[in-house]
Amino acid sequence: MAVERTLSIIKPDAVAKNVIGEIYSRFEKSGLKIIASRMHHLSRQEAEGFYAVHKARPFFNDLVSFMISGPVMVQVLEGENAVLNHRQLMGATDPKKAEPGTIRADFADSIDANAVHGSDAAETAAVEIAYFFPAMSIYSR
């Protein structure tokens, strides 16, 4: 299996619930390393750019408003099979459908306020990581 990188965002709802450490702990226990990390309050323009792929979807405006409602934690995770491993830790987009014990099952309130974001493929991860972190601020180890 290949060592991969993926982009994780702890969304404003989960930051407000004070569960950053709990979520980081789940990453580390699953073998993912946090190799870059920052708290950031997205501007509307930044959130629209990040979610540009969803621009035509009916939930786009609500999603952008939610993502700028408070600060987020953004991190790069590295490890074997990181993209899929992280998606499994997150659980399904809709927390009502998420497996028990996943981050969304435990901390998300709804499909809109669903606690976390994770890249869905290695190619997307590369683009999303570059959106937030210059290469020199990523500390592979």
Binding status of residue 131 toward ligand UDP by CB under 6 A = no
Count the site residues for ligand UDP by CB under 6 A. 8
Question: Within positions 87 to 116, which residues make up the interface with ligand UDP, using CB under 6 A?
Answer: 93, 111-112, 114
Closest CA to 73 of 136, 139, 18: 18
Q: What is the DSSP letter of 120?
A: S
Cβ contacts of 122 within 8 Å, gap of 6 or more:
4, 5, 6, 83
Residue type, 81: N
On whether 17 is known to bind a ligand per the annotation, the reply is no
Binding status of residue 120 toward ligand UDP by CB under 6 A = yes
Binding status of residue 137 toward ligand UDP by CB under 6 A = no
Q: E strand or H helix at 5, and its extent?
A: strand 3-10
Question: Within positions 45 to 84, which residues make up the interface with ligand UDP, using CB under 6 A?
Answer: 59, 63
Answer whether 126's CB lies under 8 Å from 7's CB.
no
Binding status of residue 122 toward ligand UDP by CB under 6 A = no
The residues binding ligand UDP (CB under 6 A) are 59, 63, 93, 111-112, 114, 117, 120
